[in-house]
Structure 1
Amino acid sequence: MKSKTKIQIVSILVFIGILIYMNQRYINLSPQTLKHIILSIGIFAPLIYVLFYSVRPFILFPASVLTLAGGLAFGPFYGTLLTITGASIGAWLAFMFTRKFGADKIRSKWGSKIISLENVIQKNGFFIILLLRLIPLFHFDLISYAAGLSKMKTSHFLAGTFLGMLPGTFAYSFLGASTVSENKSLMIIAILFFSLITILPLVFKNRIKRYISAKEEK
């Protein structure tokens, strides 16, 4: 493992530790208070959450913050389900917007980077989308835009996106739900799982890049 990767891993672990410590030591918000912020709109809270997540790619709201909030409000499992639903709809909207209306604008904004990604997706479809959602080497929305530029099937894009997002989404939701939990064992498990999901992409980053480059040259 390269020293740069080791530094990145240590930095992530330190950041997670600081996040948990600050929340418990200084912020110390109760689960009831955090849930009230999101659930104050009542029975429509899950629907509003999904709708907001669906338009997130167009308003540039941080996905990680929203996913953590979903875990806090709805718990790790229901939060994951709602987040996956909203994120899939949002990815599909970005995909379809690019395909129907925004191809020239997207190409001009992202340049050669998105063109290269478009070519890889064009040749490998579902598998490359699944891989890039599992190991996020590129910005989440950039992948959706690049897929929209390609001629891949919409069903393949959605399937790869849905399956690829599951581990990471659950990790964020689980972490969000556990940071205000009184169960210390649950919090430790959530941190370890989140760390694993976050570190794995760093470990395999260069291998995946070489694999994608090889696919692009074929």
Structure 2
Amino acid sequence: MNQFEHSLELFIESAGWLAPVLFVILHLIRPLLFIPVIVMCILGGVLFGFFEGALLNFIGLSLMSLVSYLLVNKFPRFRKGITRLKDKMFKDRTISVSQVMVLRIMPFVHFHLLSFYLIEMTKSIKEYMYLSVIGLIMPAIMYTAFGEAITKLPWYVTGVIAIILIIIFRYLEKLNKTKVEPT
């Protein structure tokens, strides 16, 4: 593992100004390589440090959100696949923007599925990108800064964090239902 980290550091140093560009491009092709978002964000922190890594992760995730919007709206087959996934994961559920923001923080929740929810909730690309970008700030910062530490935590601590996020998600769901249902 030390050899791999050393090789990565050498590659970044030799790539110079091109390294950040290649990293952002890697964010865009990440879904094709089946690399989870959290892994990319951790990698950004390891390769570029906290500040530059968080910024590059934020840029890469924001561009990926734009790509998600374009894929859903230009390719009916992609929209159909994401709709099937939505029906499988959150059948008969209405999810609020706040819940999408919490789910963005949770590791291994499907990025394009959450983008699809935002696409359905918004009326324009401008509104979608605004909400999407706001929802990407925390994961980019959190996973860049604490991602490596999270992955090194014992399984039970990771489980407790997941349970806390699920409780917050459920609370926001109940809060959303009280806003929707007439009293």
- Per the normalisation by structure 1, the TM-score is 0.61
Number of positions where the alignment pairs a residue of Structure 1 with one of Structure 2: 173
Letter in 2 for 1:86: G
Q: For residues 175 and 144 of structure 2, what CA distance do their matches in structure 1 show?
A: 35
The 5-angstrom pairing of residues 136-155 of structure 1 reads 138-155=109-126
| 2:5 is equivalent to residue 44 of structure 1 | no
Q: Distance in 1 between matches of 2:84 and 2:166?
A: 27
- Give the secondary structure class of the aligned counterpart of 2:47: helix
Q: Read off the aligned partner of 1:53 and give its amino acid letter.
A: H
Q: Is the 8 A contact 1:79 1:173 kept in 2?
A: yes
Distance 1:136 1:68, change over 3 A: closer
* Cα separation, partners in 2 of 1:148 and 1:60, compared to 1, 3 Å: farther
What is the TM-score normalised by the length of structure 2? 0.70
CA separation of 1:135 and 1:86: change in aligned 2, threshold 3 A? same
Once the two structures are superposed, the pairs formed by residues 183-194 of structure 1 within 5 Å of their partners are 191=149
The one-letter code of the counterpart of 2:81 is K
Percent identity for Structure 1 against Structure 2: 20
Name the aligned partner's letter for residue 118 of structure 2: A
- Cα offset for 1:84? 0.6
Which residue number in structure 1 is paired with residue 169 of structure 2?
A: 208
Q: Which amino acid aligns with 1:164?
A: G
Provide the secondary structure at the position in 1 that maps to 2:35.
coil
| Structure 1 pair 30–100 and aligned structure 2 pair: CA distance change class (3 A) | closer
State how far apart, in whole Å, the 2-side matches of 1:70 and 1:137 are.
17
Q: How does 1:25-174 map to 2 (within 5 A)?
A: 27-28=1-2, 33-102=7-76, 103-113=79-89, 116=92, 119-120=94-95, 124-125=96-97, 127-134=98-105, 138-174=109-145
Q: For the Cα contact (< 8 Å) 1:70–1:173, is it kept in 2?
A: yes
| Runs of 5+ consecutive residues of structure 1 not aligned to the other structure | 1-26, 180-190
